[in-house]
Every structure is written in C-alpha cells, then in structure tokens.
Amino acid sequence: MVSQSEIVRPSCNFSPSLWGDFFDSFDWDQKAAEFYLQEIKELKNKIRCMLVDTSIDVSKKVELIDTLERLSISYHFETEIEEQLNQIFINSTLDQSNLYIVALQFRIFRQHGFNISSDVFNKFKDGNGEFIEALTSDVKGVLSLYEAAYLRKHGDDILEEALTFTKYHLIKMLPNLSPSLQKQVSHSLDQTIHRGWQRTEARFNISIYENDETKNDSLLRLAKLDYNLLQMLHKQELHEIRRWWKNLDLSKFTYPRDRVIEGYYASLGMYFEPQYSLARIMATKTLVMTSVIDDTFDAYGTIEELKLFTDAIQRWNIEEIDRLPGYLKTVYGTLINLHQEYEQELEKQGRSYVVEHARARWKELIQCYFKEATWFNKGYMPQFDEYMENALITTVCFLLIPALLLGVGSATRETYDFLINNPRIVTAMAKISRVIDDVATYKVEKERGQVATGIDCYMKQYGASKEEAFEKLHEMAEDAWKDLNEELLKKSIPNEVAIRALNQARLMDIFYKHDQDGYTNPEKVLKPQIISLLVDPIDL
C-alpha cells in the first residue's frame, strides 16, 4: 500500500479567500436597528396606500410595482402587488399606448406568473414583419422591450427577433445617450433584470432612482433604510457562519477553495428577505460542503480514497469513519454532523424529515462525482448524452433545491415529494448550470488533464469543432431558460420553490459572467458586489 506521504496529488493552486478575517468581528447596533425599523414602518404604510389607491391609472401602478422591485423593497408589499396585478389582468385594463409601457407590463406580468401573450408586440411591426424602424428613437421603449425579451418561452419567436433588434440598436445608440441613460443601457446590456438578483441590483437602481426627477422620496428613503437594515442582519449571519467555519478542522485544509463568503453570497441570492435567515445559514453550510467535496473529487483524492468515501457516504453512518484516510475522516465527519445538527434544529419545527431528502441527494451526488473521477482516472470520454446524465447531477442543483428548502417552513412533504421526480423546472436550472459552467471552466479543466469535459464530449458525439461546441452549449442554456420561463408560468410548483430555482439559474448569469469562473476567481465580478452588499452601507 502506498503511504499518504508518497501519493502525488494534483496541484491546483486555488487563490486564497479574498476576505481573510474581515467578516469575523461584528457588533449588532440595536439603536440603529430601532431607528431604521421605526421609519421603515411609517414609510411602508404610506407606500401601501399608494399601491391600493384606485385613482392611480394602470401604467402608473405597473411603474410603481417595477420601481419597488428594482429598489428591492417589493417584498414588503407582496400581497398588495399580487392583488393589484390580478385586478388589472382580470379587468383587461392594460395600457396599449406605447412600446415602453406595453413591454413593461408584459415583463412584470410574466414575472408574476401571468401568461400574457407575446402577440401584444405584433402592433410594433411593419408590413414586412420587421420591427418599425422609428421605434429606435424611443430609447426607453427599446430598453423596455429588450428587458421583456428575457421572459421569452418556447414559441415566442417575436421576442427572439425583439432581442436581436433591441440589442443591436442599444449598442448602436449607446455613445449618443445622456449620461444617465448611458449608465442604464450599459448596465442592462451586462445584467438584465430577469437574470439578475433583485438584492444585488438594488444598489445600482437606488443610485439611478436618486437622480430621477420624477422620483418619490418615500420610496427612495425606504429603499435606503431597508438596504442598511438588511445589511446589518446579513453581516450578523455571516459572522455566525464564519464562526462555524473557523471551528471546523476542515477550515485548516489547504487543498480546497475557501469560498465561504462567496457561498454565503450565493445563498443571499437565493433569498435575501429577513424571514429566510435560518434557511440562508443552512444553505451556506451545504454549499460550502459541496465546494470542498467537489474539490476533493476534482483536485485531490486518489481513486482508491474516493471509492472508500463514496461507499461510506452510501452507508451514511458515523461508524464508517474509521475506514477512511485521515483527511477524508474530517470531510465525512463534518458532513454527517452537519446533517445531524440540521435534524436537531428542524425537529423544533416538526420538519426533521426533510433532512432525509437532502441525504438521499448527497448519496446520488457523490456517486456521480465518483463516476466522473473514474472517467478521469481511465481517460474515458463518454458521449455527450452519457456525460450530461451524470453532469446534470454534479451541478449540485438536485441537492441544492431540497437543501435550500431545509430552513423554509412552508416547504411541506408534498413539496419534497414533487421534487423527488426531478421536475422540468429543476432540470432546466441544472441544464443552465451545467452548460454555463462547462463553457466557463473548460480551459482550467483541460489544464487539469480532464478528458470528459462537456465541450469535448459534445465534439465527440456530434463531430463538431470546438467553436461549434461552445456555440451549441450557449444555445442549450438559452433553450433551458425558455423551459424555465415556461415552467414558472405553469404555477404547478409552490412559488417559494420556483423562485429558488429561478435564483439558482440567475446565479449562473452572475457568477459565470462573460464565460469566466467568478466563483473560483471572485476578484473581478463578485468582490465589488459583495462589498456593496455586505460591507458598505448606503449614505442616508
């Protein structure tokens, strides 16, 4: 038998965490929190009255809802917003007057699960079936149509055309726009509303709204206060997570990526509202474990060690720990203990049964990681279809959804039963995750000596060139977004679950922006986002 010191392991050289012990000290400022809360309460009442005011016309109402969402304060008014949208929809009182408002209504209604037809855009085409050229003088209209196009589902061909049309014109008009519009258009070209996280986008939107001549001061004030108050809560959670992490032997390991802060940011993207505090903390711990175990399989363990680990996971019993080599004892013990802690915590809510679902998904995930490791070990390259069957699971999406719902009280046995059969909404998010990840990590995986990469397997099965494979994988992601948009309209799944699936798909747009692996290398894209969300409060 080869001794531990003789084993040659791949060197990965992941960059260290950007954050050191930055988030380790935190004091909750009760006085500030009380001050914020008091004013927030008053402002909420004021805004609630505006929302239900029957004298405000439809377009203004929809604009108000859009503003609340952009400023990330709509969660305070969920019931009122649903009521208002229902009333407008039932009474068919949509405003048809111009492209801006038609596209805005379309986006808002689709985002809220109303199956509004894309035929509403037919009237903006000329006799040749092209979008009317004169529309291009209406920047707000073109931008609104561009954002609406991201809600497209299968068969919405007019929105496919709209996307090409608007993108082309927005890029062309960009240099000649006023500074404020220029900012908004470049931002949208980089991060669309539908594919962005509401909370991440809030800060940019607040800065734009602040300079909007038509702004409502109450909305702006609420947005700022709420931003700072939530930031305090999030910092406190992060502090707790860091304490958990630092107390683990696992945190002393040097081989895996230390991405605890980025993992928390990912959870924050899934749910930022205060009532999800426990869910966020649990989700972060699970994400951290997936990351460490992914690195264990991809970049550290030998095939023999990984076999022992995989078998032990299938048995899920702490007594199995003795069969494992030292470092895997730590990984295994941490995972088992963590789920025991979840169980104890959820016992208090009478929901400890949900942990069993998470465990089942862990067993499945580890088996698939092992299959991947075996392929790597043998230099085997599967056909793309065979690869995808396994690789959809290694996106961790099938584990993530039940794990994200651990701390969500309204996720019932029925919710979990529904998820067992891998519904299309979850498969869609897994497809998006897999192909976006494969495109972004291709170079690094090749350098690591991976044979069975998504790109290579595609090239093998279809005799395609590398460029064609990249293009095809991008197309697959767009196609899966249409599946996802379609499923969101069916309302066959509790909204709380559906939103998590959508937010996970959005994560890919954010973390892997411009085909770069922002999770492994968070400096460029994620760092500024994390600073603005979790470090700097907004000036009041």
Ligand X SMILES: CC(C)=CCC/C(C)=C/COP(=O)(O)OP(=O)(O)O
| Among positions 396, 404, 502, 525, the unique one binding ligand X when judged by CB under 6 A | 396
**Least distance to ligand X from the beta carbon of 499, Å?**
17
Instruction: Please state, as a whole number, how many other Cβ atoms lie within 10 Å of the Cβ of residue 94.
Output: 17
Q: How far is the CB of 433 from ligand X (least distance, A)?
A: 8
For residues 236 and 281, give the distance between their C-alpha atoms in angstroms, rounded to a whole number: 11
Q: How far is the CB of 146 from ligand X (least distance, A)?
A: 27
- Find the part of the chain contacting ligand X (CB under 6 A) among 59-67, 285-293, 375-383, 461-469: 285-293
Nearer to ligand X, 61 or 434 (CB): 434
CB of 494 to ligand X, least distance (A): 23
Binding status of residue 394 toward ligand X by CB under 6 A? yes
- Chosen residue from 59, 63, 511, 525 binding ligand X by CB under 6 A: 511
Q: Check if the beta carbon of residue 163 is closer than 8 Å to that of residue 149.
A: yes
Which span (43-51, 283-291, 350-358, 462-470) binds ligand X, by CB under 6 A? Answer: 283-291
The binder of ligand X chosen from 69, 80, 258, 437 (CB under 6 A): 437
Token pair listed for 379: 């230099």
Query: Measured at the alpha carbon of residue 480, what is the angle toward residues 475 and 483, in degrees to the nearest 5?
Result: 135
CB-facing half-sphere around the CA of 516: CA atoms within 13 A: 10
* Interatomic CA distance for residues 473 and 458, integer angstroms: 9
Stretch that binds ligand X, among 239-247, 284-292, 403-411, 456-464 (CB under 6 A): 284-292
Between CA 149 and CA 170 the distance in angstroms is 14
Q: Is 273 exposed, middle or buried (0-12, 13-18, 19+ CB in 10 A)?
A: middle
Given the complex with ligand X, which of 17 and 216 has the nearer CB atom?
17
Handedness of CA 309, 314, 318, 319 (dihedral sign): negative
For the bound state, the minimum distance from the C-beta of residue 291 to ligand X, rounded and expressed in Å, comes to 4
Distances (CA, A) of 130 to 122, 135, 153, 159, 373: 10, 11, 20, 12, 51
In this chain, which of 205, 291, 334, 427 binds ligand X, going by CB under 6 A?
291
C-alpha span between 352 and 355 (Å, rounded):
6
Decide: is 390 part of the binding site for ligand X (CB under 6 A). no
Q: For the CB of residue 432, give the shortest distance to ligand X in the complex, in Å.
A: 12
CB 205 within 8 A of CB 68: no
**Can you say whether residue 117 is alpha, beta or left, with left for phi > 0 and alpha for psi between -120 and 50 degrees?**
beta
Pick the piece of the chain touching ligand X (CB under 6 A) from 19-27, 172-180, 230-238, 288-296: 288-296
Nearest by Cα to 523 from 22, 16, 183, 25: 16
Provide the H-helix boundaries in 260-353: 260-270, 277-299, 303-315, 326-347
The span from the CA of 527 to the CA of 213, in Å, is 31
Does 290 help bind ligand X (rule: CB under 6 A)? yes
* Least distance CB 511 / ligand X (angstroms): 5
Residues 43-102, interacting with ligand X (CB under 6 A): none
CA atoms within 13 A on the CB side of 296: 25
Residue number, 110 or 434, with CB nearest to ligand X: 434
Decide if residue 441 touches ligand X (CB under 6 A). yes
Q: Does 284 participate in binding ligand X (rule CB under 6 A)?
A: no
Per-residue contact string for residues 292-331; x = within reach of ligand X by CB under 6 A: --x---x---------------------------------
Shortest distance, CB of residue 194 to ligand X, whole angstroms?
A: 19
Number of amino acids touching ligand X (CB under 6 A): 14
Residues 472 and 469: their CA atoms lie apart, in Å, by 5
> Shortest gap between Cβ of 472 and ligand X (angstroms)?
18
**Is 287 among the residues that bind ligand X (CB under 6 A)?**
yes
Question: Of the two residues 365 and 493, which places its CB atom closer to ligand X in the complex?
Answer: 365
Q: Interface with ligand X by CB under 6 A: which range of 152-160, 286-294, 326-334, 485-493?
A: 286-294
> Which span (131-139, 287-295, 380-388, 407-415) binds ligand X, by CB under 6 A?
287-295
Return the closest-CA partner of residue 481 out of 512, 502, 454: 502
Q: How far apart are CA 215 and CA 67, in angstroms?
A: 10
Least separation in angstroms between residue 352's CB and ligand X is: 24
Residue 55 CB, nearest distance to ligand X (Å)? 46
Helices 454-462 and 384-393, axial angle in degrees (round to 10): 150
If binding is defined by CB under 6 A, does position 456 make contact with ligand X?
Answer: no
- 3-state SS class at 125: strand
Task: Write b or e for each residue in 57-75: b if 16 or more Cβ atoms lie within 10 A of its Cβ, otherwise e.
Answer: ebbebbbbbbbbbbbbbbb
Kindly state the tokens that stand for 32: 């500030």
Q: Cβ 363 to ligand X, closest distance in Å? A: 16
Taking CB under 6 A as the binding criterion, the range among 1-9, 25-33, 169-177, 290-298 that sits at the site for ligand X is 290-298
**Which residue of 256, 263, 402, 407 would you call a contact of ligand X, by CB under 6 A?**
263
Which of residues 266, 336, 436, 457 is near ligand X by CB under 6 A? 266
The single-letter code of the amino acid at 246 is: K
Nearer to ligand X, 80 or 372 (CB): 372
What phi, psi does 17 have (nearest 5°)? -60, 145
100 vs 511, which CB is nearer to ligand X?
511
Mark residues 519-538: x for contact with ligand X by CB under 6 A, - for none.
Answer: x-------------------
503 near ligand X, rule: CB under 6 A = no
Residues that bind ligand X (CB under 6 A): 263, 266, 287, 290-291, 294, 298, 394, 396, 437, 441, 511, 517, 519
